[in-house]
Structure 1
């Protein structure tokens, strides 16, 4: 039978929008299906996405070659995407890693080796120099630093998605602003239900992030943990901007795992205020269904985690004391392999692209490209880490 589209990408988040853009240069007959960001988060009863934010850290410094490669490939295309779309989203302010040298020596050693492989310029900063170079931080005297000045900083995820969707549409992609509720392999094609309508395609890519298992999108659920994350926002005034305005994105590896945090420099948000944002990776709340995940996204995150981060932040950045503090929800989608999933489900016509593992925003354009290659060519090669990206599915 004739199909409506050759390829359908489900999910217009960071990976899905990127996949649609890349597919538009490979083939015709493409649709991108996914809802826009809800206008009222606290009354919305549908699906959400974690890119509803203004800042995500971007860097290549990573102890894992695959993740470093994904980030480097994406970073190298940022300026081209900005130029072609007319939408700015990348701030190259650099990224600083700090931590106790002895406790984290394996990570730092491996990350430096990966950086050399990728051609990244990483500057080692001795403990005695950290305070002079970055005076707004009060780190322990035995902490060392690694600073990536170029190909690092932060991106605006909302703006990046807008740029990807704009270029996809310019490339002929049909945008359908609906939520997909069903995907079915019909034998010779795939049937997709969204907004009460049915669409057909030769192949489909499910790029629904943490919501991939919450509707009937895959023949069998993927093996993934959708975990709660809380972010904290410090409102910046003129005094704080004079202190923190030129800081880089920063990742602090504390003496204890619960003290690890990431910090985004001051960024202006849609409410007209400027916030310094930080978060951690210690929460254990997970979600098994749409109802619970939706309730989390409608909340302000965990009060306990907000308090925890609010204790750490002023110790590390004393000048934050007295700033108004708010919090918000996010989710992280973890895979047992530690890698994203880019591969086919039990059907050779239904692919899956998900599993950000809390570090994929910076790599989303490259992961989207891999999803596009999967649909267009039917496989990923070793140069794209195809074997590492094989999806794992829940037991039947």
Structure 2
């Protein structure tokens, strides 16, 4: 039987669009399947994606060599993607880690070792110097800073996906703006059902993020937890812009894990307003069904988590007091290995690329490249951390 495509990538998010772009430079006969972002989030009854946002932290400072390497490789290609696509998405404003000197030291030591391995420049800032360097930030006197000035800051995930998809199409990729409902190994090919239509391919890569297990896209579900995450937005006016306008991206590791927080500088959103965004990583709501994922994405997140994040935010940045506050939903897709999954399923024709573990946006271009290599070569090398990325199935 003839096939419609050599390769189909299911999922037009950050990893899937990147995989399509990389694959387009390796071969032809490629389709990228995924719907557009819904125009009305609260009335949308289909699938969602977590890249519907304007800012995500990017950095190489990481306590894990694989994750640091993925980020560094992706960062090295940002400017070329911007130039080729004509779409800007990277703001190199730097990234500041702060932590108590006697807390999280194991992570900091590992991150400094990884940084030396990758050739990243990390400036250590003594507690006495932090207030002068970052006067908007009110941390305790024992906090030390670790500042990555170059190859760090934030990316616009919406714009990055647009850039990847544009370059993929220019490379000959067929973009199918619809939702894949199933992928079935039919023996000599894979049949992908898309809103009533069926497309056949030699191989399929499922890169559907937190929705990978929610349709019949995989022979067996991957072992992963889809966790709800709430993000908070402070609307920033002229007064606050004078204070926060030049801030870097930040990750503050508090004395307690529940006080850890990430903070994005003020960024303009589609409504024309400037927002400073922040979030944490301790919510326990697990999402196990498609309808629950949809309900969460149509919500404003957790009110309790919003209040918790606001308390921390006002302690760290008192000048935010009085700014209008809103919140929104996101999800994080965690694997038991702590690494993303990039490997074949029980079918030699269906591969999976998922498991961002709440840190993958900055690395998505490299993870997409790994997905493309996986499809064309059948396996990943140790130089690409192939062993660590082996999928685990439920």
Taking structure 1 as the reference length, the TM-score comes to 0.99
Residue 351 (1) aligns with residue 351 (2): yes
Residues 2-81 of structure 1 mapped to structure 2, 5 A cutoff? 2-81=2-81
Deviations 1:105-159 (A, max 9, x none): 1111110010000010000000000000000000000000100000000000000
Shift of 1:101: 1.5
Give the 3-state SS of the residue equivalent to 1:127 in structure 2: coil
Give the 3-state SS of the residue equivalent to 2:263 in structure 1: strand
Alpha-carbon separation, structure 1, partners of 2:18 and 2:321: 39
Shift of 1:380: 0.2
The corresponding residue for 1:215 is 215
Alpha-carbon separation, structure 2, partners of 1:46 and 1:316: 38
Shift of 1:104: 1.3
Alpha-carbon separation, structure 1, partners of 2:101 and 2:61: 16
Deviations 1:367-391 (A, max 9, x none): 0000000001100000000000000
Residues 98-247 of structure 1 mapped to structure 2, 5 A cutoff? 98-247=98-247
Alpha-carbon separation, structure 1, partners of 2:163 and 2:130: 36
Give the 3-state SS of the residue equivalent to 2:203 in structure 1: strand
Shift of 1:290: 0.5
Runs of 4 or more above 3 Å deviation: none
Note the residue ranges of structure 2 that are not aligned, 5 or more in a row. none
Taking structure 2 as the reference length, the TM-score comes to 1.00
Alpha-carbon separation, structure 1, partners of 2:318 and 2:254: 16
Alpha-carbon separation, structure 2, partners of 1:6 and 1:243: 53
The corresponding residue for 2:262 is 262
Give the 3-state SS of the residue equivalent to 1:266 in structure 2: strand
Residue 382 (1) aligns with residue 387 (2): no
Note the residue ranges of structure 1 that are not aligned, 5 or more in a row. none
Give the 3-state SS of the residue equivalent to 1:128 in structure 2: coil
RMSD: 0.3
The corresponding residue for 2:290 is 290
Shift of 1:195: 1.5
Alpha-carbon separation, structure 2, partners of 1:16 and 1:104: 34
Give the 3-state SS of the residue equivalent to 1:164 in structure 2: helix
Alpha-carbon separation, structure 2, partners of 1:109 and 1:379: 32
Shift of 1:63: 0.6
Alpha-carbon separation, structure 1, partners of 2:146 and 2:104: 12
Shift of 1:163: 0.0
Alpha-carbon separation, structure 1, partners of 2:289 and 2:318: 40
